[in-house]
Chain A
């Protein structure tokens, strides 16, 4: 049963520290999405990759956030320095291009708390 995996599942850190979240997309999927979910803002798209190339990161605060795909099996989202307002659940999702008709497969999320 293929699944998207995310690590860590929970992270508590202090303001100013670097946070790295990792995602392993489903093997064979060529699109990867990073989302942030909060009660106030709902589900926000942070970054989108296709064939490992970043195509859209317009929703991501550029000064402190960065997203990369070092290889097809790993996507990373980094926050440096972290701030309390970054506290949220971060989801990674993967899918197939399929002309945009493919559904997304979401990981279980990383719950981040910045003190």
Chain B
């Protein structure tokens, strides 16, 4: 079965500092991994995904994520946080192995708060 964990409910960071939002996953085969962002009173927006290839994936708004197979992680990062990055961030995984589902599984979300 596929599962994903976002171990932090909330992450606080000062504007201009680097930020990391953590995501770990569990799959039986290879994963497809996704990050989405949700601003207040909006739907989720796609940020980036890892399908295959380079472990470092670059996405929208200056975000990037690193696929680490040995640690089963896909942490979201940004070198310099902006106040406007404050939002709810969701990690999602799809397992390509025999125990997987065609439908991605979403984490519970991490609230990122960037302080001026």
Contacts and interface: CB of A to CB of B under 8 A. Distances in A.
* Main secondary structure on A side of the interface with B: strand
Interface string B70-91: 0000000000000000000010
B43 A42 contact: no
B103 A43 contact: no
Contact of A108 (B42, B94, B104): B42
A83 B70 CA distance: 46
Interface string B34-67: 1010000011111001010000000000000000
Contacts of A43: 44, 90, 106, 108-109
Interface residues of A, number: 19
Interface residues of B, number: 19
B32 A101 contact: yes
A106 B106 contact: no
Nearest to B46: A103
B96 interface: yes
A97 to B, nearest CB: 9
Contacts of A25: none
Contact of A42 (B32, B49, B51, B106): B106
Contacts of A93: 43-44
Contacts of B96: 100
A13 B90 CA distance: 30
Contacts of A108: 42-43
Sorted nearest first, the 4 A-B pairs with minimum C-beta distance are A106-B43, A103-B46, A106-B44, A42-B108
Interface of B: 32, 34, 36, 42-46, 49, 51, 90, 94, 96, 102-104, 106, 108-109
23 contacts: A4-B43, A33-B103, A43-B90, A43-B108, A48-B102, A55-B102, A56-B103, A91-B43, A93-B43, A100-B94, A100-B96, A101-B49, A101-B51, A103-B46, A103-B49, A104-B44, A104-B46, A104-B104, A105-B46, A106-B43, A107-B43, A109-B42, A109-B43
